[in-house]
């Protein structure tokens, strides 16, 4: 890793080593900061359950913080994936996303979106029913229109976490396998973190990237960050034939169909994800997902379920996602990414780096 050094290297302790934490630790180290990454280990975070869909260009708004973060993150993924792969890290990814309209209202919305983005030079193409009908395997029959975005796409989140962790470690990020139990400001400056097992850790900066568990760490300090869990379930299917001719991810009535020709046998497809408030999975939304709310083409109904999994998304209550905040001198919050933590990880990591270097 070449390190364009920051003017003043800081010590930074990142709490949470899932996608947000691992990516942030990597980005900080890349600038020459001394970084520790504290995580209990395993693959318990929501990031491991994510589908990795990158929906940047088809976002309903085209201004404001959410839009800027999405644009920046897509650009950073485009730079960082080749950088990591150049050092032998593997992140399966592909570009292309086809958003389908199920009814007249969605069709009108997609037409407006295409017009507005094309006027800004953003390449979004409308695909009329004839073109959709030529795709194999067949799309859900009621599809009235498609909006194709060549710059959006998908990547494998577990591979991305593994790549950031491994590349970070090689570059000098110190991984500490433990759980933070209490945070405390130091008298002069900086923060001290009590751990479940080992000795406390101290740093100039503390970055709380612990997903939904950020709440319990911050509340004793008087920070009431309103976050609620939204559970998601997803499936890996084996198809009767590969979905190679699709131009990328297909999104239908809130369900993402993600061909994974790179996985064993070349006929795998990820299907997800349900949106279920709370911590407990419910069989009904999973059954609706499995059959695409009754619109599943026959090849999809015949596919064999190989794997099912679930994870939690941290959703801010009454606030827009994500929560990127300087809570106190030296204390940063980077969580609450809800449905777009994979998309927004690089721009969030960059925001953390800017805060640390601005001080």
Footprint on this chain of ligand FAD (rule: CB under 6 A): 15-21, 38-40, 44-47, 49-53, 179-180, 209-211, 213, 217, 232, 234, 272-273, 311-313, 335, 337-343
The DSSP result for 177-231, as a single string, is ES-EEEEEE-SSSSEEEEESSS--EEESEEEE--GGGHHHHHGGGT----EEEEE
Integer Cα distance of 127 and 124 in angstroms: 10
Q: Which is nearer to ligand FAD, 52 or 137 (CB)?
A: 52
Place of tokens 């592909």: 94
> How does DSSP classify residue 320?
-
Least distance CB 252 / ligand FAD (angstroms): 14
Least distance CB 321 / ligand FAD (angstroms): 8
Least distance CB 130 / ligand FAD (angstroms): 29
- Buried b / exposed e along 186-195 (16+ C-beta atoms within 10 A): eeeebbbbeb
**In terms of Cα–Cα distance, which of 301, 244, 251 is closest to 272?**
251
Least distance CB 29 / ligand FAD (angstroms): 17
Q: Which is nearer to ligand FAD, 36 or 340 (CB)?
A: 340
Give the list of residues 6+ apart from residue 292 with CB closer than 8 angstroms, or none: 140, 252, 253, 255, 300
How is residue 154 written in tokens? 């998908």
Q: Residue 251: is it exposed, middle or buried by C-beta count within 10 angstroms (0-12/13-18/19+)?
A: buried
Least distance CB 50 / ligand FAD (angstroms): 3
Q: Which is nearer to ligand FAD, 111 or 192 (CB)?
A: 192
Q: Which is nearer to ligand FAD, 201 or 243 (CB)?
A: 201
Integer Cα distance of 216 and 229 in angstroms: 13
Q: Which is nearer to ligand FAD, 57 or 335 (CB)?
A: 335
Integer Cα distance of 313 and 168 in angstroms: 25
Q: Which is nearer to ligand FAD, 113 or 209 (CB)?
A: 209
Least distance CB 108 / ligand FAD (angstroms): 25
Q: Which is nearer to ligand FAD, 107 or 251 (CB)?
A: 251
From the CB of residue 45, how many other CB atoms can be counted at a distance below 10 Å?
28
Query: What crossing angle do the helices spanning 64-86 and 341-358 adopt, rounded to 10°?
Result: 90
Least distance CB 266 / ligand FAD (angstroms): 22
Q: Which is nearer to ligand FAD, 127 or 270 (CB)?
A: 270
Least distance CB 87 / ligand FAD (angstroms): 22
In Å, what is the CA distance from 293 to each residue of 15, 22, 297? 39, 36, 11
């Amino acid at each position: 890793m070449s390190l364009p050094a920051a003017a003043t290297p800081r010590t930074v302790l990142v709490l949470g080593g899932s996608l947000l934490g691992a990516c942030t630790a990597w980005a900080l180290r890349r600038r020459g900061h001394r970084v520790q990454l504290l995580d209990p280990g395993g693959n318990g975070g929501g990031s491991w359950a994510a589908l990795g869909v990158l929906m940047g260009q088809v976002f309903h708004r085209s201004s404001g913080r959410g839009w800027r973060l999405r644009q920046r993150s897509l650009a950073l993924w485009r730079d960082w994936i080749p950088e990591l792969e150049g050092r032998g890290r593997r992140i399966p990814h592909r570009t292309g996303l086809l958003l389908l309209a199920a009814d007249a209202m969605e069709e009108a919305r997609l037409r407006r979106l295409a017009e507005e983005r094309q006027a800004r030079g953003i390449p979004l193409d409308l695909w009329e029913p004839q073109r959709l009908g030529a795709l194999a395997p067949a799309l859900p029959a009621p599809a009235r229109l498609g909006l194709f975005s060549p710059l959006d796409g998908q990547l494998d989140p577990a591979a991305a976490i593994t790549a950031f962790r491994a590349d970070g470690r090689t570059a000098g990020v110190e991984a500490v396998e433990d759980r933070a139990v209490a945070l405390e400001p130091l008298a002069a400056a900086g923060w001290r973190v009590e751990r479940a097992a080992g000795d406390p850790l101290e740093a100039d900066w503390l970055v709380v990237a612990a997903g939904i568990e950020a709440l319990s760490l911050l509340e004793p300090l008087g920070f009431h960050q309103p976050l609620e869990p939204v559970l998601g379930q997803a499936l890996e299917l084996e198809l009767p034939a590969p979905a190679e001719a699709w131009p990328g991810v297909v999104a239908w009535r809130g369900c993402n169909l993600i061909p994974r020709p790179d996985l064993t046998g070349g006929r795998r497809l990820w299907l997800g994800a349900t949106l279920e408030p709370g911590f407990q999975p419910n069989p009904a939304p999973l059954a609706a997902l499995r059959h695409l709310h009754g619109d599943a083409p026959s090849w999809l109904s015949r596919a064999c379920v190989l794997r099912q999994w679930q994870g939690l998304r941290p959703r801010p209550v009454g606030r827009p996602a994500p929560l990127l905040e300087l809570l106190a001198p030296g204390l940063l919050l980077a969580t609450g990414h809800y449905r777009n933590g994979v998309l927004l990880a690089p721009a969030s990591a960059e925001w953390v780096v800017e805060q640390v270097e601005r001080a």
